[in-house]
Amino acid sequence: MEERKGFGTNFGFLMAAIGSAVGLGNIWGFPNKMGASGGFTFLIIYLVLAALCGFVVMVGELALGRKTGKGAVGAYQVLSKRFKWLGWLGILSAFLILGFYCALGGYCIKYVVLNVGNLFGAGFGNNGLASGDVFGNLLTNQLESVIYGLIFVLITLLIVMGGIGGGIEKFCSIGMPCLFFMLVIVIVRACTLPGAADGLKYMFVPGWAVEHGVIAKAPSFINVLSTAGGQMFFSLSLGMGAMVTYGSYLDKKQNLEKNALIIVVCDTIIALMAGLAVMPARFALDPEGPIGGPKLLFITMQNVFNTMGTVGYVFGIIFYLLVVLAAISSSISLLEVVVAHFCDKARQKGKGDKRKVYAVIAGLASGLLCVLVCLDGLGANGISPFNILGIQPDANGNLPGWSDCWLDFLDCVSEGIMMPLGALLMCLCIGWELGPKAVDDECCLEGNAFKSKTFFNICVKFITPLLMLFILAGQLDGFFGLGWFS
Ligand code: PFF
């Protein structure tokens, strides 16, 4: 059988895993969720969840992958009788996330080009239009959106075709330090703007968000728990096999526990740093602009750069480039979840790993989903799920949040349901079917110590699954407006 090539160095593994974790979720999700759901209070809840669930699931996923040396599907098939099929849930989640991630990645590339156009006064800049109109035009210009989305798919595909060491590790080892450096530049500029303090207050002051003098309705504790938990799973790329897959390429000598801790800590630090880059600028220069989601990224932030004059476009290029890097380092891990499984199968049959062929097939399939999301243009073009399924508004004229556009629908199914469900089932598999010893043994290979063994064993059996049940219920409640916790 052909050798299964993994990461060349532990640094390369860490950059790839942190790259998977650091993505669009850190930039538009975390800062706003933190600001709107209690500021410092949210941060404390997030940190507790990151320790009790994030770290535990991270160690578990990395261990399952490394123990079996197989991607998500193979790992569960080898280890478990009851959860044999769990890897497929991961592949499906990865595929759905890729669909909307590539569309958004494409928009980010467009915004790098836009700011280059602005800098040189070229026709492909703002052309005197307001940011809202520029973004609106992009959403309704289906051909342009599709082209940018497919460029993003192609970049992802080319890197994954290069393999773990030659593609993913190389890209992330250079891309992640660059991302960090660019983020620091943007933070320094954002935090020194007059009025930046309002953004810092929004993010950090304990208590519920105050916007335009209006105190938002305090969310219930379960709501905050599920918002923080859902964000944490998405942000750490957990519950869908990405870390199982990356773990399967990690050398047996490396310390799993330490690596898991570094990934969780770095992802959280970069999410906070992203907040420092975005929120102060938004409050200083566009206090009325959208404060979360794609509109924060593409309308508010572009407004911020427009207001800064020529130098703003330089910051715009740096900012959107760093977002592109963050998005690519995540999308390659998503595609790798799918590709790794088929390569493993081919290798087992003695056919070589056929990586390039499978990467192209998986890339084409996710490209199709990306085209759908681009054509939909966040619901601007009349083909959103509610248009197609003929869903009627309720008595108050509201539509269910998940039906507004394909992006929200895919996000709801993957981030809202499949990821927390996948992580919950993985915990049950480790805690109650395989037993935590399976993970303990893997962590203690080659003389490594598993310092948090007792903590891990208690969490994986009792605390993490229980918390995850709440998170899952809260996510379902939020996405489908079930009113369980309001
Ligand atoms: N962690 C990424 C983000 O925060 O944007 C999203 C993600 C990437 C989720 C890779 C899952 C994954 F496998």
Tell me the per-residue pLDDT of 269-286, one tens digit each, with 9 for 90 and over. 999 999 999 999 999 999
182-191, 290-299, 426-435, 437-446, range with the lowest pLDDT = 290-299
pLDDT given at position 208: 64
Asked, for residue 386, whether it belongs to a domain, the answer is: yes
Could you give the CA distance from residue 418 to residue 151 in angstroms, rounded to a whole number? 28
Please tell me the distance between residue 393's alpha carbon and the centre of ligand 1 in angstroms. Answer: 32
Residue 274 belongs to domain with CATH number: 1.10.4160
26 lines ligand 1 (CB under 6 A): yes
What residue type is 306 in one-letter code?
N
97-111, 379-393, 437-451, range with the lowest pLDDT = 379-393
Which residues are 210's β-sheet partners?
215
Convert the pLDDT of each residue in 41-86 to its tens digit.
889 999 999 999 999 999 999 999 999 999 999 999 999 999 999 9
pLDDT given at position 309: 87
Asked, for residue 2, whether it belongs to a domain, the answer is: no
For 364, residues 6+ apart whose C-beta sits below 8 A from its C-beta are none
Please tell me the distance between residue 371's alpha carbon and the centre of ligand 1 in angstroms. Answer: 20
331 lines ligand 1 (CB under 6 A): no
What token pair was written down for 21?
């974790």
pLDDT given at position 3: 78
Asked, for residue 139, whether it belongs to a domain, the answer is: yes
What token pair was written down for 438?
């399976």
Please tell me the distance between residue 337's alpha carbon and the centre of ligand 1 in angstroms. Answer: 12
At residue 220, φ and ψ (nearest 5 deg) are -70, 165
Q: Is 128 left (phi over 0), alpha (psi -120 to 50) or beta?
A: left
Convert the pLDDT of each residue in 372-403 to its tens digit.
999 999 999 999 988 888 888 887 777 777 78
pTM beyond 0.75, yes or no: yes
Could you give the CA distance from residue 191 to residue 170 in angstroms, rounded to a whole number? 32
pLDDT given at position 38: 79
- The torsion defined by the Cα of 207, 209, 210 and 212, in degrees rounded to 10, comes to 170
CA nearest neighbour of 244 among 25, 80, 59, 96 = 59
The protein residue with its alpha carbon nearest to ligand 1, atom 11, reads: 237
- The torsion defined by the Cα of 266, 269, 271 and 274, in degrees rounded to 10, comes to -120
pLDDT given at position 47: 95
Asked, for residue 486, whether it belongs to a domain, the answer is: no
Please tell me the distance between residue 35's alpha carbon and the centre of ligand 1 in angstroms. Answer: 21
Convert the pLDDT of each residue in 209-259 to its tens digit.
555 555 556 677 887 888 899 899 999 999 999 999 999 999 999 999 999
> Which has the higher per-residue pLDDT, 220 or 114?
114
Please tell me the distance between residue 23's alpha carbon and the centre of ligand 1 in angstroms. Answer: 6
The protein residue with its alpha carbon nearest to ligand 1, atom 9, reads: 237
Asked, for residue 258, whether it belongs to a domain, the answer is: yes
Please tell me the distance between residue 125's alpha carbon and the centre of ligand 1 in angstroms. Answer: 30
pLDDT given at position 28: 85
28 lines ligand 1 (CB under 6 A): no
CB 252 within 8 A of CB 70: no
Total number of domains in the chain: 1
* Percent of the residues in the chain that have a pLDDT greater than 70, as a whole number: 97
Domain ranges, residue 165: 10-480
Residue of 334, 337, 341, 417 best suited for mutating to test ligand 1, as the one with most atoms within 8 Å of CB: 334
Asked, for residue 3, whether it belongs to a domain, the answer is: no
175-189, 195-209, 413-427, range with the lowest pLDDT = 195-209
Could you give the CA distance from residue 115 to residue 119 in angstroms, rounded to a whole number? 6
Residue of 18, 20, 102 best suited for mutating to test ligand 1, as the one with most atoms within 8 Å of CB: 20
156 lines ligand 1 (CB under 6 A): no
CA nearest neighbour of 249 among 261, 236, 259, 238 = 259
Residue 264 has pLDDT above 60, yes or no: yes
Asked, for residue 241, whether it belongs to a domain, the answer is: yes
Residue 131 has pLDDT above 80, yes or no: yes
pLDDT given at position 214: 54
Could you give the CA distance from residue 297 to residue 222 in angstroms, rounded to a whole number? 28
Residue of 237, 243, 413, 419 best suited for mutating to test ligand 1, as the one with most atoms within 8 Å of CB: 237
CB 462 within 8 A of CB 414: no
240 lines ligand 1 (CB under 6 A): yes
Atom of ligand 1 nearest to the CA of 337: 13
Convert the pLDDT of each residue in 322-380 to its tens digit.
999 999 999 999 999 999 999 999 999 988 889 999 999 999 999 999 999 999 999 99
Mean pLDDT, range 127-142, rounded to an integer: 95
Mean pLDDT, range 138-152, rounded to an integer: 98
86 lines ligand 1 (CB under 6 A): no
Confidence of residue 154 (pLDDT cuts 50, 70, 90): very high
Asked, for residue 421, whether it belongs to a domain, the answer is: yes
The H-or-E segment that residue 261 falls in is helix 256-285
264 lines ligand 1 (CB under 6 A): no
CB 277 within 8 A of CB 190: yes
pLDDT given at position 330: 98
Please tell me the distance between residue 74's alpha carbon and the centre of ligand 1 in angstroms. Answer: 21
16 lines ligand 1 (CB under 6 A): no
242 lines ligand 1 (CB under 6 A): yes
